[in-house]
Amino acid sequence: MSATVADLLRGGVVTLKIASGAWVVSAVLGLALAVLQDLGLAPVKIFQASLTITLRSVPQLVILYLLYFGLGAVGIQINSILAAILALGVADAAFTAEYYRAGFMTVPWTQREAGFSLGLSRMGVLMRVVVPQTIPFVVPPLLNSFVGLLKTATLAAAVGAPEILYRGQNAMSRTGEIVLVVTIIMGLYVVVTMPLTRAVAVMERRLRSYAHS
């Protein structure tokens, strides 16, 4: 029992690692996509629109297979954890980009004009005027997406990453204690996720009163 718990905890750490890594990839790539879209360069737009549609319609698991086995097939070997971080992060970025874009829209155009009138470039205005004002609005959805990634991180079991579900499945077949293992996993998830969703709720409430003040 305690050995099983210790093993699941170690798996939980790997899950956290995958989710955090994917979250960073998603936050950075999503921002890049949103900025490119805002700058509105025609070729980028087309590339980006097709990328977004692809990322949104294809299941994350397929993207994970593509990265892990696809790269392997062309001779690039990456470990399963890294593959999961990249695949889940890239897949999530299509959604994260939309959070940023919605955030950009909360910043009045006149703020951009104030930046332009100082001589800032479009990129300068975005990075120094628009994005910083957007941050409070994107933190709650980004935290939500982290909670989502904690769950989708279990997909990494499919490529053999030793995360929580992978270890759980092993423990179930080793000990036959299916209910126990599932309960422990659920418990761990609730313990990690609850404070996060609470934090999001509090932040959203603060943002609402801030936006109305």
Partner 1 sequence: MREGSATAGSLLEFRDLHKSFGRSEVLHGVDFRVARGEKVCIVGPSGSGKTTLLRCLNLLVEPTRGQLYYKGEQIGSWPGGARVGLSGYRSRIGMVFQHFELFPHLTALQNLTLGPRHVRHEGRSAAEARALQLLRHVGLEAFANAHPRTLSGGQKQRVAIARALAMQPDLILFDEPTSALDSEMVDEVLELMRRLANEGMTMVIVTHELGFARDVADRIVVMERGAVVEEGPAETMFSAARSQRTRDILRVGVKR
Q: How far is the CB of 117 from partner 1 (least distance, A)?
A: 4
- The answer to whether residue 196 forms part of the interface with partner 1 (CB under 8 A) is no
Q: How far is the CB of 125 from partner 1 (least distance, A)?
A: 10
Q: Residues touching partner 1: how many (CB under 8 A)?
A: 16
Buried b (16+ CB within 10 A) or exposed e, 128-158: ebbbeebeebbbbbbbebbbbbbebbbbbbe
Q: How far is the CB of 69 from partner 1 (least distance, A)?
A: 45
- The answer to whether residue 129 forms part of the interface with partner 1 (CB under 8 A) is yes
Q: Measure Cα distances from 35 to 49, 125, 141, 167 in Å.
A: 13, 11, 18, 39
Grouping H, G, I as helix, E, B as strand and the rest as coil, residue 71 is: helix
On whether the CB atoms of residues 126 and 38 are closer than 8 A, the answer is yes
Structural tokens at position 173 = 């077949």
Nearest residue (CB) to partner 1, 86 versus 131: 131
- The answer to whether residue 124 forms part of the interface with partner 1 (CB under 8 A) is yes
Q: How far is the CB of 141 from partner 1 (least distance, A)?
A: 19
| Residue ranges that bind partner 1, judged by CB under 8 A | 110-111, 113-121, 124, 128-129, 132-133
